[in-house]
Amino acid sequence: MKLIFKFLAITTLTSSTALFTSCGSLSGSKPKEVVVPVKTSKPSLSSQATLAKKVLNHPKITLLRKQVSGRLDSASSYHNIASTARGYSAKRSSYGTAPGGYVKLRKQMLQTMLYLADTKGYSYRITSIAGGSHSRTSRHYAGIAFDVDMINGRKVSYSNPYYKAFMRAGRAKGATEVLGPGNKAHSSHVHLAWPR
């Protein structure tokens, strides 16, 4: 009671009746808790599974269910996102230079997939994430890269009017390896990758 009184005395200096009222309602708690607000941490970011679920069900994002080569190996972009949405790692392919095994997809990349569709308004198709055969040290195998071959209903090529801005948007979201038409072996797709 003594402590509450002390607190009331402090608040009177700057207070209004409203403060007194709120004080009364808090009379059961320690004054210290009233004066020093409990520090709350920032709300935690969505988990990979939650983000992947959104990607999976996003009307503007199409996920290829096979490899670009036509191969069916459960490591397609669709399979990668679907297993991440269920809380599992994404499967890598086991042909060419692909190392096989599984890898967790990075949150930042999944967030960017949603950003490109939601904030930037692109509809696009992802042809490859952790699966497929790429260069030997490809960031795809680390779960930090994805490829896009269609943007706003048009194939990625020099004449696609959207790919440059799409690449810029990826760079703005932290992608450091951004390739597309004009770069070797990327005339038909955009590649976005994050630092290791």
Nearer to Zn ion, 147 or 149 (CB): 147
Strand partners, 128: 147
Instruction: Pick the piece of the chain touching Zn ion (CB under 5 A) from 40-48, 50-58, 98-106, 188-196.
Output: 188-196
Give the shortest CB-128-to-Zn ion separation in angstroms: 6
* Structure tokens, 108: 């930042």
Residues 52/105, Cβ–Cβ less than 8 Å: yes
Alpha-helical runs (H) found in the chain: 2-14, 17-25, 31-35, 48-56, 77-85, 107-118, 163-172
User: Beta-carbon neighbour count of residue 154 at 10 Å?
Assistant: 13
User: Beta-carbon neighbour count of residue 49 at 10 Å?
Assistant: 15
Nearer to Zn ion, 19 or 185 (CB): 185
Does the protein bind Zn ion through residue 191 (CB under 5 A)? yes
Binding mask 135-174 toward Zn ion (x if CB under 5 A, else -) reads: ------------x---------------------------
Nearer to Zn ion, 52 or 109 (CB): 109
Which residue of the chain is nearest Zn ion when measured via CB?
191
Residue 159: CB partners within 8 Å, gap ≥ 6?
none
Calculate the CA 152 to chain-centre distance.
Answer: 20
Give the shortest CB-45-to-Zn ion separation in angstroms: 25
Give the shortest CB-66-to-Zn ion separation in angstroms: 16
> Contact positions toward Zn ion, by CB under 5 A?
147, 191
